[in-house]
Amino acid sequence: MDTVVLSLGGSILVRDEDNSQYIQDIAEMLVEASGTTRIFIVTGGGRIARYYIREGRALGAPESYLDEMGIEVTRLNARLLIAALGEHSNHTPPKDYKDAVLAAKHNRIVVMGGVSPGITTDAVSSILAERVRASRVVNATSVDGVYTADPVKEPSAERIPRMTYEGLIALVGAAPRKAGPNIVFDAAGASVLARARIPLYVVDGGDLANLRFALEGKAFEGTSVG
Ligand SMILES: Nc1ncnc2c1ncn2[C@@H]1O[C@H](COP(=O)(O)OP(=O)(O)OP(=O)(O)O)[C@@H](O)[C@H]1O
Ligand SMILES: [Mg+2]
């Protein structure tokens, strides 16, 4: 059976409105897709995590401590999705890769958050994908692909349908980041996928039909990195 890792951005998992409806809908789609595919989901932190990171930073906490607070929020976000998945997934987010692999022995869908400071949930998704020999990583986020520049700040930016890992790393920048960055997929994750030769698909997480195409390895709208 095909294995995929879904990096589910906190930007779409923690929305302003209709949040529980969205989580219910994505859970139903994931259960259907899990009929033919083993799915690992790594949830991001979103604006709740960034609230703690911002406040903690203002109070002078070290970046690694801010990361730890962010990780706790990613695990809370994982629990929201777990609540919607019910008997179809694990019950407690695994705290490391080994426990995620163990959880998959009993569950077709495994949901987890972050793992350790300095490693974003994009990178966790990539390391997990390498560990479980996933066929692909799907990054579901608040934009419908990778653009030539940040489309929120640069309206003339254009979506890139296909690119190499090196192209993505050059675009997002390889420099070390502070806790809670807003980037479409981070360079550390992209370099793990490059060495493992696992393709990355970047899609709009709000379009569940298209997200399912990407998960199942079918033609989709977004950016294909490989
Ligand atoms: N070249 C780019 N292409 C596409 N999006 C970009 C680019 N550069 C920056 N971005 C920004 O990346 C944001 C998506 O990343 P962000 O980290 O905010 O969300 P996420 O990863 O889905 O959620 P979270 O990090 O909270 O888990 C978009 O809102 C967009 O503004
Ligand atoms: Mg992010």
> Is the pLDDT higher at 166 or at 183?
166
pLDDT for 40 equals 98
**CA-wise closest residue to 93 among 129, 48, 43:** 43
pLDDT in the model for residue 16: 79
Residue range 16-20: mean pLDDT, rounded: 84
Atom number of ligand 1 nearest to Cα 43:
27
> What DSSP designation does 162 have?
E
Query: What pLDDT does 175 receive?
Result: 62
**Percentage above 90 pLDDT, the chain:** 92
Mutational test site, ligand 1, from 141, 154, 225, max ligand atoms within 8 Å of CB:
141
CATH architecture assigned to 2-225? 3-Layer(aba) Sandwich (3.40)
Which protein residue has the closest C-alpha to ligand 1 atom 30? Answer: 150
What does the pLDDT read at residue 211? Answer: 98
Q: Residue 212 has what pLDDT? A: 98
CA distance 35 to 115: 27
CA distances from 56 to 11, 28, 75, 181 (A): 20, 36, 18, 15
What pLDDT digit, counting tens, does each position of 130-154 carry? 999 999 999 999 999 999 999 999 9
- Report domain extents, the chain: 2-225
Q: For 177-222, how does the pLDDT look when each residue is reduced to its tens digit (9 = 90+)?
A: 788 888 899 999 999 999 999 999 999 999 999 999 999 999 999 9
Asked if the model's pLDDT at residue 51 lies above 70, the reply is yes
Cα of 81 vs centre of ligand 1, distance in Å, is 21
pLDDT of residue 178: 85
pLDDT value for 180? 81
Residue-wise pLDDT for 67-126, tens only, equals: 999 999 999 999 999 999 999 999 999 999 999 999 999 999 999 999 999 999 999 999
| pLDDT beyond 90 at 56 | yes
Give the model's pLDDT for residue 184: 92
Is the minimum distance from the CB of 146 to ligand 1 under 6 angstroms? yes
Atom of ligand 1 nearest to the CA of 147: 3
Neighbours of 181 (CB within 10 A): 13
Res. 32 pLDDT band, cuts 50 70 90: very high
Please name the residue whose Cα sits nearest to atom 9 of ligand 1. Answer: 150
pLDDT of residue 181: 80
Q: What pLDDT is recorded for position 15? A: 85
Ligand 1 neighbour 9 (Cβ under 6 A): yes
The model's confidence at residue 174, banded by pLDDT at 50, 70 and 90, is low
61: left (phi over 0), alpha (psi -120 to 50) or beta: beta
Helices (H), the chain: 10-13, 19-33, 46-58, 63-85, 97-103, 121-131, 165-172, 187-196, 208-215
What local confidence, expressed as pLDDT, does residue 179 receive?
Answer: 84
Q: Which ligand is nearest to the CA of 114?
A: 1
